[in-house]
Structure 1
Amino acid sequence: MDKEIIGFLKKCKFQLEDETQLKGQLIPRDILLSSNTYEEVKLDIVELKKKFSSSALTSLQSRAQKEQKWPLLNLVRQILRVCNYKMDPVRRSDGYDDDGKKKYKRFFLIKKLKVVQVV
């Protein structure tokens, strides 16, 4: 994973300095749903298009913001997938509301994918 991708993830509010800190990190889902954060990283999408094919990564396409419900979440997920990482959804209990219904906080746990080498 190169410096541009790490810089992009930092702009997405990931707390990391290098790739080794990414595995096992718990990312709040709300950060990736923020339209303000997406607006901040829009300029980086142009740079990412130079590295990755927008036909393979639909979140890099120009119409992604209009057609996707959560474009930043999709963009981060697809970039991590290309770099052999996976975002697993995790729910943590957040108590109960006034009606007694259980509340949850939602996160993504970053895991390293196993790379299979074809001989």
Structure 2
Amino acid sequence: MGVGGSLAMGTTTGGVLGGVAGLLAGLGALTIPGLGPIVAAGPLAAALTGAVGGGLVGGLVDMGIPQERSQFYEGKVREGKILAVVDAESDKVDSAARSMRDFGASDVETH
């Protein structure tokens, strides 16, 4: 599945994480100037790296996250929280979201 204008049919799970950064240490960490740490891997990392120029909100909206939620996530990142974006097959989305919650993630949503 490619990350272009949007991600197809609810296959992205995003969460603002508190104390689970260690769990995600195997993923690539990006630091967006003025915002802070973002955790992503593969094509998602490339898409969010492109968000440096256009802002995090624009990058998230381009991936299919609604504008209002994108602004919410940007605000949380500015507060020092970590944003994790997971691209999963549709049959794995619920499991990924549940795992994130089990390890302390807050504001876990699927889009």
Q: TM-score with structure 1 length normalisation?
A: 0.31
> Comparing both chains, which one has the higher relative contact order based on Cα–Cα distances under 8 Å and sequence gaps of 6 or more?
2
TM-score in terms of structure 2 length = 0.32
Q: Which structure has greater helix proportion?
A: 1
